[in-house]
Structure 1
Amino acid sequence: MQETESGTDTKHNFISEMTGTEDRGYLTFTLGDEEYGIDILTVQEIRGYDSVTSIANMPDFIKGVINLRGIIVPIVDMRIKFNLGDVTYHEMTVVIVLNIADRVVGMVVDGVSDVISLSSEQIKEAPEFGAVLDTKYIKGLGVVDQRMLILIDIENLMSSKEMALVEQLA
């Protein structure tokens, strides 16, 4: 998918890709009071939050790095990245380890819920909020029973210029 200045073409392309009958799997997780979903195919593993090694001059949302079986993995706190208020680490805090464009990245979330399948009918286009909220990393909104999931385009988010964690995807 190609990213544009407004990000809307990316979103429309994603929605048009979802027109088939094939369900897609999403790992759901919580950040504050909201529930999010990311493509399950990007998830390498889920692990409890452990201390990280801080690196000077990193943006606030990059907590540091961990050594994961010989691979140095940058850790991003999604609560800080999404400006979701106070950050507290507890026994339910987890790190979702992602493999995106052959790069391993970890993201800290409040907790992991489950893995669900969504059909194209269950995914709605995210509303436009103008300049108030940047929605270019939101694929859409998933509706499951009475729950609404914010579906994150994690590949585009992690490869964005502001994150600079993964080489820009073509």
Structure 2
Amino acid sequence: METMKIVAFKLGNEEYGLDIDYVQSIERIQHITRVPNAPSYVQGVINLRGNVTPIIDLRSKLNIGEVSFTEQTRVIITKYEEIELGFSVDQTSDVIDITAEMIEPAFESELDNDFFGGIAKIEERLIIFLKLTELIKATT
């Protein structure tokens, strides 16, 4: 049984997860420089260890309300092929091992479910698994 690790994080009251293979680091929120004429879900860019990294408001991208920064707000720095992006989230939870058997298929609805890889059931938690590759393709 093949296991994978996911980074669990919160957007509002819901828990989401990303495949850790694409996660470079998790950073505290820092000064974000706004970019003129960028889509509404692009918060701007940050200088992260000498790299200019775009920051995406994941709440806005998924149409689940505006983000308000708190002490718990984090930026998940991801990399797919040569694209490095940061996703702002309300807070990160933990890293969890899951198996394919733990993931129920994504819900069939009006949602743009290209982003959703299913829902992982772990004890009492439901974690919505996001497909990072699709998210990055939709934001670049």
Name the larger-Rg structure. Answer: 1
Percent identity, aligned pairs only, is 37
Aligned equivalent of 1:48: 28
Please name the residue that 2:78 is paired with: 98
CA distance in 2: counterparts of 1:86 and 1:52, whole angstroms:
16
Report how many residues are paired. Answer: 140
Describe the SS at the equivalent of 1:159.
helix
Unpaired stretches in structure 1, ≥5 consecutive residues: 1-20, 165-170
Shift of the alpha carbon at 1:86?
A: 3.5
Among candidates 36, 59, 63, match of residue 79 of structure 1: 59
2:35 alignment partner, SS class: coil
Equivalent residues of 2:67, 2:90 under 8 A apart: no
Query: Does 2:115 correspond to 1:148?
Result: no
Structure 2: stretches of 5+ with no match in the other structure? none
Q: CA RMSD in A?
A: 1.0
**Structure 2 CA distance, aligned partners of 1:24 and 1:79?**
25
Name the SS of the counterpart of 2:30 in structure 1.
Answer: coil
- Structure 1 length as normaliser, TM-score? 0.80
Runs ≥4 in structure 1, deviation > 4 angstroms? none
Secondary structure at the aligned position of 1:156 is classed as helix
Q: Displacement of 1:50 after TM fit?
A: 1.1
Which structure has more strand as a fraction of its residues?
A: 2
**Aligned equivalent of 2:105:** 125
Code of the aligned partner of 1:159 = K
Correspondence for 2:42: 62
Q: TM-score, normalised by structure 2?
A: 0.96
Corresponding letter in the other structure for 1:35:
E
